[in-house]
């Protein structure tokens, strides 16, 4: 816990040094529907972006969730402790990354970079990711004709930081992975549930495939 607190403090101070007065400390940031603006940074607060917004900078928070409303355009989304939730038809012109928390992408949403968690579930619903989808400890779910143009990667835990025994990857309802599925952690059991109407075009390595 002590090491984790030091890391969080370092990140918080880094945000303050680099972003100065643009940082919100101990309160959440709310962007109203239809607004435009630059990057959003919070320490100990959530970031909520309304519908049809255009955010021309990164959204970053240390302790808090990030929520993006329908038909909004944002850049990189990055949180240390919190979930990332995209509503319908959101465009992320960058990456969506969280350390501890889930990532959910709603119908019609597109992420032009990577979707990455360390400890959290990833769920795509009729959405697209242009780069890889990766996690260390979390299930991955592709639904409703979702598309991943890169690989799905289960990364190594680097010293058994997480007490996990298995990870489920479910690809169903006409979803497609144009890359492969790569499991880099030899200590975790990964099962890939692949429906008959879904496809993984690349190789599946170090995982059990269950066809449905």
pLDDT at 7 over 60: no
Question: 55, 54, 62: which is closest to 82 by C-alpha?
Answer: 62
Answer yes or no: are the C-beta atoms of 48 and 67 closer than 8 Å.
yes
Residue 58 burial (CB < 10 Å; 0-12/13-18/19+)?
A: middle
Output helix, strand, coil percentages for the chain, rounded to the nearest 5: 10, 45, 45
Residues 120, 121, 127, 130: what is their CA dihedral angle, to the nearest 10 degrees?
50
- In this predicted model, what pLDDT tens digit does every residue of 63-72 receive, in sequence order? 999 999 999 9
Residue 10's CB is within 10 A of a number of other CB atoms, namely 11
Residue 26: pLDDT band (50, 70, 90) is: confident
Distance between CA 26 and CA 23 in Å, rounded?
Answer: 10
pLDDT, residue 162, reads 55
Residue 97: pLDDT band (50, 70, 90) is: very high
Domain boundaries, the chain: 1-65, 83-212
pLDDT at 188 over 90: no
pLDDT at 13 over 80: no
Question: 74, 102, 101: which is closest to 90 by C-alpha?
Answer: 74
Residue by residue, DSSP assigns 54-83 as EE-S-EEEEES-EEE-TT-EE--EEEEES-
Percent of the chain with pLDDT over 90: 76
């Amino acid at each position: 816990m002590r090491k984790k607190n030091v890391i969080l403090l370092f990140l918080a101070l880094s945000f303050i040094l680099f972003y100065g007065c643009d940082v919100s400390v101990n309160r959440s940031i709310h962007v109203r529907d239809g607004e435009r603006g630059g990057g959003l940074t919070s320490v100990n607060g959530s970031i909520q972006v309304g519908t049809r917004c255009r955010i021309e900078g990164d959204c970053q928070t240390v302790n808090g969730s990030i929520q993006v409303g329908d038909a909004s355009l944002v850049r990189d989304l990055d949180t240390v402790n919190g979930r990332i939730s995209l509503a319908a038809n959101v465009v992320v012109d960058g990456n969506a990354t969280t350390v501890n928390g889930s990532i959910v992408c709603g119908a019609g949403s597109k992420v032009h970079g990577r979707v990455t968690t360390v400890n959290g579930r990833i769920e795509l619903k009729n959405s697209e990711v242009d780069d890889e989808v990766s996690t260390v400890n979390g299930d991955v779910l592709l639904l409703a004709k979702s598309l991943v143009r890169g690989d799905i990667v289960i990364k190594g835990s680097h010293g058994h930081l997480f007490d996990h025994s298995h990870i489920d990857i479910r690809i169903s309802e006409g979803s497609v992975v144009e890359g492969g599925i790569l499991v880099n952690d030899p200590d975790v059991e990964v099962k890939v549930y692949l429906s008959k109407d879904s496809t993984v075009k690349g190789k599946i390595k170090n995982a059990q495939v269950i066809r449905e």
